Structure 1
Amino acid sequence: MSERELRERMAQQGRSIYERGLTAGSSGNISVRLPDGVLVTPTNSCLGRLDPDEISRLDSVGNLLSGKPPSKESFLHLAYYNARSQEQAVVHLHSTWSVAVSCLADIDPANAIPPITAYFVMRVGKLPLVPYFPPGDEELADAVGRAAKSSRGALLANHGPVIGAIDLDQAVYAIEELEETAKLFLMLRGLPTRYLTDAQVADL
């Protein structure tokens, strides 16, 4: 896709994410990797009302080249890309069910959500829990970068999910699957639950 097409796709997907209640207000941010930088949603912008021309264009180290000032979490996206060269888009949301899971005290930090369905395993895989950092803390970038070396997604404690994929559509599908599985996980808490076995996960 051309840069123009990528900008329009970001606005389209942002609107879809917002209208379906996956993030609220000005929360959440999305990005797409370019050959020489990154497109990322601007700071304090609503994903439901993105103007393609105002999307921030950064160079490979985060300097603003055009558009509005970027999300204060743009460093998180850059750290993710540095850790995973094959991924071309990243979505970070404050989606309700995933944030709820990120606040639980007894989840496995190595894999916050167990393998409930095949589609979760295929689209998300293991989901490490990244320790809590306050918004805008650049130490979060280092933590996300470490998590991304072994997993395409991560859950930020008391904050929300972040995940990448080979293109923006796939990244959106992945975070949608993560959110639905977080909902299932919470619905099943306290009930006898049959998770996928290690052999079934390996087969997938």
Structure 2
Amino acid sequence: MAEISVDVKRGAVASAADRAEAIALGAGGEVDSDDRSSGAAGTASLLLRVPPDQLTSVLRQLSRLGKEVSRQLSTTDVTEKVADVRSRVISTQGSIARLRTLYASATRVADIISIESELNSREADLESLQAQQRALDRQTALATVTLSLQTATHAAPPAKKKHYSGFVGGLRRGWDGFVHAASWVANAVGTLLPFLVLLALLAGAARLLWRRRPARPAPAPAPVPAE
């Protein structure tokens, strides 16, 4: 089992997918699935099956469809499962043969109906097991390759900063310093402004209360002593 991912040129995903199918078929394999998205930045995902002795060659050819991004290889041991399914097939076939013998010799209607129902059930089980057996035989006969094709993306290079020297460089540095200082002052004013407004309101209220306070009575004149 193999998984391979390849980046191809913009607009070339469809042709690369067609080429991948041709590679698999040319190696004596087959194409199980082919999912594609169209457009300049299209993608494609293909499930290929090839003879195990052709796997290395097929992967090498697929990697040349563009720029190989990743590749993973793994092996799955299905020997035990193959043996288990084969044993169950043989057992079910023997059971069906015995039921058919009983069915042929049955005379009572109830026995015939019961045996016929059991026979149908066992035959359905046998068909399912045989389907599993064919799938396992196919799995062991062909190696699975999952191919992912995607459009290569090229990141734009970062813009280069221009460096100035002399009078122009000093002027630009001075302007940048002024802008930075002005920004700092604006941020400071913006931060302090709510507090300054609150202090102004409190000062105004205190001044208004001071003006409205009751006036103190004038002190009475001191008595003039008699001569």
Higher RCO (C-alpha under 8 Å, 6+ residues apart) = 2
Q: Considering the TM-score relative to the shorter chain, is it more than 0.5?
A: no
Q: TM-score, normalised by structure 1?
A: 0.24
Larger Rg: 2
Q: TM-score, normalised by structure 2?
A: 0.22
